Amino acid sequence: MHAWGTGAAPGPALLWVLGPGIAILVPCPHTVIMASPRRPRTTGIEDRNLLYASEAGTTPLSSTIRDLFLRPSEGGMSAVVHRIALFGPHGDITNIVSQMDVIKFLAARPEALGPLADATLGQLGVLDSAREVVSVDPLTPTLAAFAMLASRQLAGAPVVADTGDLIANLSISDLRTLTGEHLGVLALPVAEFLALRHDTTYIGYSVHTSSLAQHAYFNAAHRQIGPGKNDIALFTVVPATTFKGLLAKFVERHVHRVYVVESLERPRVCAVITLTDVLRLVTSLAT
């Protein structure tokens, strides 16, 4: 029996069936308790799916990914969710399993992946099947950049200089700690906004030269994330990166997307890989 995630809390567990003869019973590390006499209600568009706790022990990993995380529809499209809630007979949510939990589980057991573990991204055809890379100009006002991400239903995008090189990552997580009184900072160019948020320098914008370097929003951000968290090495891989190396990047850096670049010396973005993309790849190779 193997524990995974942040702890081996008592309670319901999932039976992860990776293939013939490979089945591991694991406890779910995240616990949320809700008082509800019935099945949890759904309101509007929800970024989660539900699984009855008594069924979790016999649910294969492949089915969990395909039917609960990726949720194929009749039209062939996928209504992706990023977490699954396990609920009990009285409607109480007993555990939460996220996409990142699945990635952590796979990363800890590369031997269960067989030849896939050592296959490179180039060999897996990631670059051949890559979708259009939506990037952000570093001089774009930050508010306009986030509006573009929202219109494309994206949670983040690479910030690319006029040379074509990746210089930073813009993510909705950069809006953490933002309150109504801070909205004015979104008028800054993306490069200046990120330089101040991450206590660094981008294409001439620096914490040492900006008049807003001591703004309350950026001071709060520094306390939360610390300096240097937007170093491109933290969220980039190359075509020669192995699949197990890709999983390790997600887990070690706790990021939800990585960028495939030509090389770290010339970081031109070839593709974007998200947690959802990894789950799709695993299921496609398992069928």
- 27-67 pLDDT tens trace: 444 333 333 333 444 444 456 687 767 677 777 888 888 88
> What is the rounded distance in angstroms from the CA atom of residue 19 to the CA atom of residue 62?
9
Residues 181 and 277 reside in one and the same domain: yes
Tell me if 253 is assigned to some domain.
Answer: yes
Residues 273 and 164 reside in one and the same domain: yes
Tell me if 36 is assigned to some domain.
Answer: yes
Tell me if 177 is assigned to some domain.
Answer: yes
Task: Choose the final residue of a domain: 65, 88, 108.
Answer: 108
User: Does the pLDDT value for residue 1 go beyond 90?
Assistant: no
Residues 38 and 97 reside in one and the same domain: yes
User: Does the pLDDT value for residue 6 go beyond 60?
Assistant: no
Residues 102 and 161 reside in one and the same domain: no
> What is the rounded distance in angstroms from the CA atom of residue 224 to the CA atom of residue 176?
9
Residues 191 and 267 reside in one and the same domain: yes
262: Cβ–Cβ under 8 A, 6 or more apart, which residues? 238, 239, 268, 270
Q: Give the mean pLDDT of 6-18.
A: 38
Tell me if 5 is assigned to some domain.
Answer: no
pLDDT for res 283: 87
Number of domains in the chain: 2
Residues 157 and 102 reside in one and the same domain: no
Task: Choose the final residue of a domain: 58, 88, 108.
Answer: 108
Q: Give the mean pLDDT of 251-266.
A: 92
> What is the rounded distance in angstroms from the CA atom of residue 191 to the CA atom of residue 167?
9
Digit-coded pLDDT (tens) for 54-103: 677 777 888 888 888 887 665 555 678 888 888 888 888 888 889 999 99
Task: Choose the final residue of a domain: 87, 108, 129.
Answer: 108
Q: Give the mean pLDDT of 155-184.
A: 91
User: Does the pLDDT value for residue 25 go beyond 60?
Assistant: no
Tell me if 135 is assigned to some domain.
Answer: no
Residue 7's pLDDT band, with cuts at 50, 70 and 90, is very low
- CATH code of the domain covering residue 186: 3.10.580.10
Residue 18's pLDDT band, with cuts at 50, 70 and 90, is very low
Tell me if 147 is assigned to some domain.
Answer: yes
* pTM, rounded to two decimals: 0.75
> What is the rounded distance in angstroms from the CA atom of residue 241 to the CA atom of residue 239?
5
Residues 146 and 278 reside in one and the same domain: yes
Residue 207 belongs to what domain range?
142-286
Residues 69 and 170 reside in one and the same domain: no
> What is the rounded distance in angstroms from the CA atom of residue 46 to the CA atom of residue 124?
32
Q: Give the mean pLDDT of 185-202.
A: 92
Closest to 49 in 3D by CA, of 58, 40, 57: 40
> What is the rounded distance in angstroms from the CA atom of residue 214 to the CA atom of residue 196?
9
pLDDT for res 206: 83
Looking at every residue in the chain, the average pLDDT score rounds to 79
User: Does the pLDDT value for residue 12 go beyond 50?
Assistant: no
Residues 38 and 104 reside in one and the same domain: yes
Tell me if 137 is assigned to some domain.
Answer: no
pLDDT for res 239: 96
pLDDT for res 115: 93
Residues 91 and 218 reside in one and the same domain: no
Residues 214 and 86 reside in one and the same domain: no
Digit-coded pLDDT (tens) for 242-253: 999 999 999 999
Higher pLDDT, 103 or 233: 103
> What is the rounded distance in angstroms from the CA atom of residue 118 to the CA atom of residue 116?
6
Tell me if 245 is assigned to some domain.
Answer: yes
Residues 68 and 160 reside in one and the same domain: no
Higher pLDDT, 265 or 138: 138
